């Protein structure tokens, strides 16, 4: 009996060992890629944020550890507070309110509509999303410029002087452009969620005499609550890092009216030649992103 047990165990053990080997073998390439392209740059960022790394001048030749100096400068700099504030405005209005709200509204309105109609409308909205960011911002700059389409229409209809939108209303301009570009993502997410709601439930509500509004607020929204929360989190994180759109539309200006954290970071690193300081700012951006996701996970109970 004893012997039969040991005989039975040996192949079992070696099988397990093999399985472990196999698991590691299969994971190795992924881990390697993560190490090279994800972990290393992150570690380097943390290290460089404590140095005076610079693009030019003495500091470019002689890298020195400067302790927390970058962080001290940053928290003393009123531009940081301004950038955080601008980032919050940009994220709240263009992502949380803009993209999620319009994405949901469009998805809701398109529900149960004729297939061809859905396809045409969907394609148009997705077109904005698949267009490269630079192209989108160029379109918006052209649309909002002094001699642009919007001003041409306003001037001919209202007979007013052309408005320099990008300079008079810079934040509103980039927010609208970002809503225009990003709504498709939320729309698609919500469409799939809404399609999963069994028709019977709403039919039952209709029979019970519920109004359209009541069905939406009492049944539809609660049923896709999880999706809404996940979507808000995804969109927030995407929008926190938006750089190209803002930089190419306004350059963070005029003054620093649209200088969000990524723009602020870029300016410090590549315009003021202070790479070390720039990386320190990127760490703050990272922390904000992490805090935001934790908050969402806690408050909205997003399942990860």
Partner 1 sequence: MKLGITKRILAITSISIASVLLLAGCGNKSASDKKDKTTTVKIAWRYTGKNDSMERLYTDKWIADFEKKNPGIKVKLDPIKATEGDYFSKLDLAMKSSETTPDIVNEDSFILPSDAKAGYLEPLDSYLNDWDEWSNFTEALKSGGQGSDGKQYGIPGTTDSRGIWTNLAVIKKAGYSEDWAPKNWQDIIDAAVKIKKTQPDVIPFAASVSATNGGESVAMQTFEQLLYGTGESLYNEKTKKWNVDSKGIESSLEFIDTIMNKKKVGPSLSVAMSANFGSVIYQDKLPNNQAGLGMDGNWNTGNWVKGGAAPLDNVEKVLNFNLMPTQDGKKPGYVTMSGGWTWAMPKNSKNHKAAFKVLKAMNTKEMCLKRALYEGTLTVRNDVAKDSEYLKKPFIKTATTALQNAYFRPKSDLYPKVSIAIQQMVEAVATASKTPKEASAKYTTDVQGIVGKENTETQK
Judged by beta carbon, residue 150 or residue 288, the one nearer partner 1 is 150
Q: Give the span between the Cα atoms of 294 and 71, in whole angstroms.
A: 23
Q: Give the span between the Cα atoms of 50 and 209, in whole angstroms.
A: 65
Looking at the chain, the number of H-run helices and the number of E-run strands are 18, 0
252 neighbors 263 (Cβ within 8 angstroms): yes
Measured from the CB of residue 162, what is the shortest distance to partner 1 in angstroms?
9
Measured from the CB of residue 51, what is the shortest distance to partner 1 in angstroms?
14
125 neighbors 183 (Cβ within 8 angstroms): yes
**DSSP codes, 74-90:** HHH-HHHHHHHHHHHHH
Interface residue list for partner 1 (CB under 8 A): 22, 25-26, 28-30, 32-33, 36, 54-61, 73, 78, 145-146, 164, 166-168, 251-257, 270-274
Measured from the CB of residue 4, what is the shortest distance to partner 1 in angstroms?
25
Measured from the CB of residue 55, what is the shortest distance to partner 1 in angstroms?
4
Judged by beta carbon, residue 173 or residue 178, the one nearer partner 1 is 173
Q: Give the span between the Cα atoms of 295 and 290, in whole angstroms.
A: 9
Q: Give the span between the Cα atoms of 38 and 20, in whole angstroms.
A: 25
246 neighbors 174 (Cβ within 8 angstroms): yes
170 neighbors 258 (Cβ within 8 angstroms): yes
Measured from the CB of residue 252, what is the shortest distance to partner 1 in angstroms?
7
Measured from the CB of residue 223, what is the shortest distance to partner 1 in angstroms?
40
Measured from the CB of residue 67, what is the shortest distance to partner 1 in angstroms?
16
- Which residue do the tokens 């790394």 mark? 53
CB atoms within 10 A of CB 110: 19
- Which residue do the tokens 């808000």 mark? 232
Judged by beta carbon, residue 274 or residue 279, the one nearer partner 1 is 274
Judged by beta carbon, residue 152 or residue 218, the one nearer partner 1 is 152
Judged by beta carbon, residue 117 or residue 270, the one nearer partner 1 is 270
Judged by beta carbon, residue 71 or residue 129, the one nearer partner 1 is 71
Q: Give the span between the Cα atoms of 46 and 53, in whole angstroms.
A: 12
Judged by beta carbon, residue 206 or residue 271, the one nearer partner 1 is 271
- List, in sequence order, every residue forming a beta bridge with 51; answer none if it has no partner: 65
């Amino acid at each position: 009996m004893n012997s039969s047990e040991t005989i039975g165990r040996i192949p079992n053990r070696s099988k397990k060992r093999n399985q472990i080997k196999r698991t590691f073998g299969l994971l190795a390439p992924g881990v390697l890629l993560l190490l090279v392209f994800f972990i290393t740059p992150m570690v380097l960022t943390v290290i460089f944020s404590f140095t005076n790394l610079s693009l030019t001048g003495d500091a470019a030749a002689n890298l020195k550890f400067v302790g927390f100096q970058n962080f001290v400068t940053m928290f003393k700099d009123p531009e940081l507070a301004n950038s955080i504030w601008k980032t919050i405005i940009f994220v709240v209005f263009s992502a949380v309110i803009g993209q999620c709200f319009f994405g949901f509204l469009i998805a809701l309105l398109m529900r149960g509509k004729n297939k061809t109609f859905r396809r045409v409308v969907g394609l148009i909205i997705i077109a904005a999303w698949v267009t490269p960011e630079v192209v989108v911002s160029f379109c918006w700059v052209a649309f909002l410029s002094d001699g642009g389409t919007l001003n041409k229409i306003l001037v001919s209809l209202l007979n007013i002087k052309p408005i320099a939108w990008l300079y008079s209303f810079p934040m509103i301009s980039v927010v609208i452009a970002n809503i225009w570009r990003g709504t498709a993502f939320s729309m698609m997410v919500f469409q799939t969620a809404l399609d999963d709601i069994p028709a019977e439930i709403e039919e039952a509500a209709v029979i019970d005499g519920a109004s359209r509004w009541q069905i939406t607020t009492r049944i539809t929204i609660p049923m896709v609550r999880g999706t809404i929360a996940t979507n808000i989190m995804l969109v927030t994180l995407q929008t926190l890092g938006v750089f190209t759109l803002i930089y190419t539309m306004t350059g963070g200006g005029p003054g620093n009216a649209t200088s969000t954290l990524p723009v602020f970071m870029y300016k410090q690193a590549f315009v003021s030649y202070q790479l070390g300081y720039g990386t320190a700012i990127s760490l703050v951006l990272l922390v904000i992103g992490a805090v935001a996701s934790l908050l969402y996970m806690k408050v909205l109970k997003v399942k990860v």
